[in-house]
């Protein structure tokens, strides 16, 4: 089965095989593996030794996102969230539930947030200390302008928490160039092609030290994870971790380096996305994003206007052809989503396009373009009103 979802991703057999062992997390053979992962991912993040530290956290992306929001934003503090997709919605919910004040900046889910919009929102409210932003919005496939928005946050003297969960390892970004970033967040099971189960923050040491005690949680306090490492060593982990996931992640990082690291991985994912995007268009389907806005991680496609189309039967028909995609969607307008990340190649994508065509034929879906009505609803409201005025 070809797993085409944006996490957990299809993995290599060597990575999965590393899980087939019993491991004591505190064992002296395992501690260097764990400490080595911390060093390697800090380097991948462009972090500097002594200035940045890797804080692993059991669980997934939501856990480490909540931990970062709690750790760096004091209770009652204010955070701006550029909101152009499902994962930004989740950041809003996590921050609100942790009693941080959220200022949402609504943006259509078909384009990036802009540096100007973020700069204006920060200028309008000096009480906002942080921006929490999604690097690659996995809901739609949009890549937000981290360089421009990072510069705007820096110029305004505020701080950035970057959810890089579906970007890290594929999209370029260096903490060395971004002193405004308190923490960038990612997980073991996305573009680094490990198994799911561990979250990571690479964070500034000075900010971790300044944040001691404000998380309002022990489990979700990144500064406590840092303090623990200083006390007990970088090979030591608080509480029982998903230790087999960590062992597999070390192998996944080896394979990542062998492939050629970030540039090679991005090139493979981009080609996966291109084959898929052109393939679905050739089948008469309508991609959700313009090609200029299409990121390399996930291709989202409008559900066909044909009244006979329903998502679950389509997913089932695809599965019978050896391709598994999500049976839900995360965009404003109804869509289906196909992941381009994981241990999959452009040839796999060609096979997936053929399977999509076969599934649509089997289900008798002839009217495959998105209905014009749907496209108008999800379009940029700003553009629409400008058009009307003109």
Ligand X SMILES: *Cc1c(COP(=O)(O)O)cnc(C)c1O
Closer Cβ to ligand X, 138 or 331, answer by number:
138
Contact residue for ligand X among 129, 138, 286, 326 (CB under 6 A): 138
Residue 60 in contact with ligand X, rule: CB under 6 A: yes
Residues 6+ apart with CB under 8 A from 202: 41, 42, 45, 47, 52, 53, 54, 55, 175, 183, 184
Closer Cβ to ligand X, 64 or 355, answer by number:
64
Torsion of CA 149, 154, 159, 163, to 10 degrees: 30
**317 within 8 A of 166, measured Cβ to Cβ:** no
Contact residue for ligand X among 165, 222, 289, 317 (CB under 6 A): 165
The count of chain residues that interact with ligand X, using the rule CB under 6 A, is 12
Closer Cβ to ligand X, 62 or 274, answer by number:
62
Name the strand (E) or helix (H) holding 247: helix 243-259
Three-class DSSP category at 86: helix
Residue 7 in contact with ligand X, rule: CB under 6 A: yes
Give me the least distance between CB of 7 and ligand X, in Å please.
5
Q: How far is CA 26 from CA 30, 81, 240, 285, in A?
A: 7, 39, 9, 52
Burial class (CB in 10 A: 0-12, 13-18, 19+), 62: middle
Contact residue for ligand X among 54, 84, 187, 331 (CB under 6 A): 187
Window of 99-107, 119-127, 159-167, 230-238 that interacts with ligand X by CB under 6 A: 159-167
Closer Cβ to ligand X, 91 or 237, answer by number:
91
Q: Where are the alpha helices (DSSP H) in 283-322?
A: 311-320
Window of 28-36, 57-65, 214-222, 241-249 that interacts with ligand X by CB under 6 A: 57-65
Closer Cβ to ligand X, 6 or 287, answer by number:
6
Residue 61 in contact with ligand X, rule: CB under 6 A: yes
Q: Where are the alpha helices (DSSP H) in 125-237?
A: 146-155, 205-210, 222-232
Restricted to residues 73-132, the positions that interact with ligand X (CB under 6 A) are 87
Q: What are the residues binding ligand X (CB under 6 A)?
A: 6-7, 60-62, 87, 134, 138, 163, 165-166, 187
């Amino acid at each position: 089965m070809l797993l085409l979802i944006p996490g957990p991703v299809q993995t290599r057999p060597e990575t999965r095989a590393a899980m087939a062992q019993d491991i004591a997390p505190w064992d002296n053979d395992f501690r260097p593996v764990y400490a080595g992962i911390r060093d390697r991912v800090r380097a991948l993040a462009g972090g500097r030794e002594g200035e940045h530290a890797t804080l692993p956290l059991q669980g997934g992306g939501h856990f480490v996102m909540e931990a970062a929001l709690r750790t760096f934003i004091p209770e009652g503090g204010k955070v701006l969230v550029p909101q152009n997709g499902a994962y930004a919605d989740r950041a809003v919910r996590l921050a609100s539930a942790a009693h941080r004040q959220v200022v949402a900046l609504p943006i259509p889910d078909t384009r990036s947030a802009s540096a100007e919009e973020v700069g204006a929102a920060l200028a309008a409210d000096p009480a906002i200390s942080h921006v929490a932003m999604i690097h690659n919005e996995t809901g739609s496939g949009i890549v937000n302008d981290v360089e421009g928005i990072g510069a705007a946050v820096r110029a305004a003297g505020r701080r950035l928490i970057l959810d890089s969960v579906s970007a890290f390892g594929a999209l370029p970004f260096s903490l060395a160039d971004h002193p405004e970033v308190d923490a960038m967040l990612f997980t073991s099971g996305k573009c680094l092609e490990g198994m799911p189960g561990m979250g990571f923050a690479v964070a500034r040491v000075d900010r971790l030290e300044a944040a001691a005690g404000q998380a309002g949680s022990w489990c979700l306090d990144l500064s406590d994870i840092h303090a623990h490492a200083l006390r007990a060593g970088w090979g030591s982990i608080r509480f029982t971790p998903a230790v087999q996931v960590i062992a597999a992640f070390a192998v996944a990082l080896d394979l990542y380096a062998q492939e050629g690291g970030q540039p090679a991985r991005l090139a493979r994912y981009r080609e996966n996305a291109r084959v898929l995007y052109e393939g679905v268009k050739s089948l008469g389907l309508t991609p959700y994003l313009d090609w200029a806005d299409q990121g390399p991680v996930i291709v989202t496609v409008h559900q066909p206007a044909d009244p006979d189309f329903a998502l679950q039967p389509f997913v089932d028909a695809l599965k019978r052809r050896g391709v598994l995609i999500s049976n839900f969607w995360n965009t404003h307008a109804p869509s289906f989503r196909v992941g381009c990340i994981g241990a999959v190649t452009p040839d796999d994508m060609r096979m997936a396009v053929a399977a999509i065509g076969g599934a649509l034929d089997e289900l008798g879906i002839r009217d495959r373009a998105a209905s014009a009505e749907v496209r108008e609803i999800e379009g940029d409201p700003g553009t629409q009103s400008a058009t009307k005025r003109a």
